[in-house]
Amino acid sequence: MRDPRIQKLAQNLVNYSVDMQPGENVLVEMIGSERDLLNAIIEEVSKGGGRPFVQLTDRTVQRAMLKNANKEQLELWAELDLERMKKMDCYIGIRAGENVNDMADVPEENMKLYNALYSHPVHSEERVKRTKWVVLRYPNASMAQLANTSTEAFEDFYFDVCNLDYSKMDRAQDPLAELMRNTDKVRIVGPGTDLSFSIKNIGAEKCSGQKNIPDGEVYTAPVRDSVNGTIAYNTPTLYNGVTFENIKFRFENGKIVEATGSDTKRLNEILDSDEGARYIGEFAIGFNPYILTPMKDILFDEKIAGSLHFTPGQAYDVTDNGNRSSIHWDLVLIQRPEYGGGEIYFDDRLIRKDGIFVIPELAALNPENLK
């Protein structure tokens, strides 16, 4: 008998996250071996009059492909999958791989080609811009290990996070989105961090279960050349299967002019992927009340209560500062007291201190009010 929490998640994904309508084509991509959720989604799509299509991806096979890929192969691979994506109205991506480091030994040059020739046109340009999409992880022993919990405890945590009332969260985000749309100057302060930039006329977007599960952020982007100062991130991060820690950037007129971390050489190689990789494409504030500690999974980590992320690379169309890049690397700074604390100021007004919103109009986003 199927876990009723899986059925509820499938219903939410199809009917809320991508808001599927009768007659629409839905591509469900499963990375990993989980089948219960996949089958529940197929049933839910079909019940609503949609047409489900499935892509099954094995990370170990994908790794073998990428280790041996060449430019011509990647261009054809992208061409084929892009044509399919163009025929889709909705996309549901489920990530349930067993080893987050599967791509760690793929040559860096191959990963750069894959990101530029495949991921960018198929996902960044077509799927993100032209379909109704949602991406989520699915719990397994590997994820539980990253979170330092038992598998059963992680599953309970996962369904609390993923099946919370996102429509309630959506309403609570309205004041923050409106405030960001009307803000010019932002300042972020904390240990090793003193960063200033403008978000004037960029806009702001709510994230409440329509694009990511789990969710819980509002994002914008800095005016491209307005960023100055330093930021010291305090969460580990994965990029192409490699873990980075203690990343610190120094900015001058929007550009990352100094970058250090646990692997400074590789970090700078990524930032040299193209011109836009050294500029910021997203600034977001996270507040999911159930997510408190990093687990090297960005779909969770960027939503951590009391966090923000400041992202080198591609900007989103809806909050477009003009930055273009083949990368979009969400890097997270947690500002709760146990992580060193910190403040966010909008136009010289303190709006969040030590991870807690301190102005009345944003109080609904504090943890006690979202659970």
Hunting for tokens 């004037």 — which residue is that?
200
For the cut 80, the answer to whether the pLDDT of residue 169 exceeds it is yes
Helices (H), 122-263: 128-130, 141-146, 151-162, 166-181
Residue 74: per-residue pLDDT: 94
Class of domain 4-163: alpha beta
Tallying the residues shown for the chain, one arrives at: 371
Give the number of other CB atoms < 10 A from CB of residue 280.
Answer: 28
Amino acid type, 351? I
The pTM of the full predicted model, rounded to 2 decimals, is 0.78
Write the pLDDT tens digit of every residue in 201-217. 999 999 998 888 889 99
Q: Tell me how many degrees the CA angle 227-210-119 measures, rounded to the nearest 5.
A: 65
Cα atoms found within 13 Å of the Cα of residue 115, Cβ hemisphere only:
21
Write the pLDDT tens digit of every residue in 43-86. 999 999 999 999 999 888 999 999 999 999 999 999 999 999 99
For the cut 80, the answer to whether the pLDDT of residue 146 exceeds it is no
Hunting for tokens 């904390």 — which residue is that?
190
- Is 163 in a helix, a strand, or coil? coil
Write the pLDDT tens digit of every residue in 259-280. 999 999 999 999 999 999 999 9
DSSP state of 314: P
In which band, very low, low, confident or very high, does the pLDDT at 182 lie, cut at 50, 70 and 90?
very high
Cα atoms found within 13 Å of the Cα of residue 240, Cβ hemisphere only:
21
For the cut 70, the answer to whether the pLDDT of residue 97 exceeds it is no
For the cut 80, the answer to whether the pLDDT of residue 142 exceeds it is no
Give me 42's structure tokens. 């197929």
> SS3 helix, strand, coil % of the chain, rounded to 5?
40, 25, 35
For the cut 80, the answer to whether the pLDDT of residue 98 exceeds it is no
Q: Where in the chain is the domain with CATH 3.40.1830.10?
A: 4-163
Q: Which among 223, 196, 355, 317 is positioned nearest to 279, based on CA atoms?
A: 223
Q: Tell me how many degrees the CA angle 61-64-65 measures, rounded to the nearest 5.
A: 90
Residue 39: per-residue pLDDT: 96
The gap between the terminal CA atoms of the chain, to the nearest Å, is 28
Mean per-residue pLDDT, 4-31: 95
Mean pLDDT across the chain, nearest whole number?
93
Residue 158: per-residue pLDDT: 85
